[in-house]
Amino acid sequence: MIKTVIADGKTEYEFIEYLKNRAQNSDKNVVPVVTEILENVRENGDAAVRDYTIKFDGKAPEKTEITAEDIDAIISKCDPEYLETVKKAAANIRDFHQRQVQQSWLTTKQNGVIMGQRVRGLKRVGIYVPGGTAAYPSSVLMNAIPAKIAGVQEIIMCTPPQKDGTPNPDIIAAAKIAGVDRIFLMGGAQAVAAMAYGTEAVPKVDKIVGPGNIFVATAKKLLYGVVDIDMIAGPSEILIVADETANPKFLAADLMSQAEHDRLASSILLTDSAEIAEKTKEELACQAEKLERKDIINYSLDNYGAIIVCSDISQVIDFANELAPEHLEVCCANPMEYVGRLDNAGSVFLGNYSPEPLGDYFAGPNHVLPTSGTARFFSPLSVDSFIKKSSFIYYTEEALKADASDVVRFAQTEGLTAHANSIKVRFE
């Protein structure tokens, strides 16, 4: 049963520390296993990837890369209504992210100086998409569409084959709709390594994004620096802020929507109403029994869930900022009243009819979000995640001469005489 905590300035903060430890306590035995996989793929390329595919996925696919003809045949197996839903979601996601596009710019000064910034998409990005028991077509949309809008020249996707060696049709359909350029049937840390280092079949990428199990997450973490990555994601989490006007049935359903992700997921309700707290707990017990993943839900709620009762709504908002959750729902009479005060959250869902799953799949904002309190300083995946910027400077001889003494003084202060000399020789 989910625990109820009465906020007293101490107990609720002890719970935060408990949650942080859960996110940090990754299996130390995973690192050496993943390190060995990375080195093997780096040295042996596709042969190593194939061996690991047989070992971990049961069977190697007949072809590593899926051709355009194969894609059309695979998609023909999908439910037409599902395809329409994916297209609608893609349109919403595209509309939201197109508004994030930055432009290159330049500025001129009266002395002839020209300065500016060039913005362009990365050359090649790799997307990892789970394809086993946790197959997420929505993640294809959320990762590929912003990359395409950013101007990435080539988007490749790696997804593991199913047990029979074939791809998941729903994932392949989402990839085509989102604009993925090339698709490879491979999964796990070995797929991440293939994208990072490049193999005979898989081109080397500049950045790797997308969710995965602890082996995939560890591989991304170890390869950061060889390539860029989106973020190091922890277990999924939701925080709901609710006042006395909230509907306990809705609150319970939304808490469980995240608890079903995995046993380490965290679902927390913050409220200033003891009545809402009690009724929500009753709804949790009732609704969980009707859900397929009730064992995971109950484990998650029992171990990492909480209903925290605060003295007033102001304390609720302050504590929400302390938690800095991945998903934050505001189920209050006037949710817009609190928008300006909610500083730390990956994505905010306002009102009783903006449940978190709406953002996971359909509304448009990205569902790749910072976890484990990192929303204090990290942002959701966006078009900005797939661009790079270069500045440029043009000085005339007269403009440089006017600033020369200041530049030389800086260089000499830092003891870098060659820097100073680079300026001086132009005017001797």
- Nearest CA among 289, 57, 303 for reference residue 167: 57
Burial (Cβ within 10 Å: 0-12, 13-18, ≥19) of residue 207: buried
Identify the active-site residue in 12, 237, 261, 327: 327
Q: Is 327 a catalytic residue?
A: yes
**Residue 405, both tokens:** 């003494």
Q: Is 326 a catalytic residue?
A: yes
Which DSSP state fits 60? Answer: -
SS3 331: strand
Angle in degrees, CA 212, 68, 137, rounded to 5:
30
Q: Determine contact, residues 333/243, Cβ cutoff 8 Å.
A: yes
**Residue 178, both tokens:** 């989102």
How far is Cα 200 from Cα 66, in angstroms, rounded to an integer?
15
SS3 333: coil
How far is Cα 249 from Cα 283, in angstroms, rounded to an integer?
6
Rg for the chain, CA atoms, rounded: 25
Identify the active-site residue in 237, 260, 326, 329: 326
**Residue 55, both tokens:** 């070992």
Residues acting as catalytic residues:
326-327
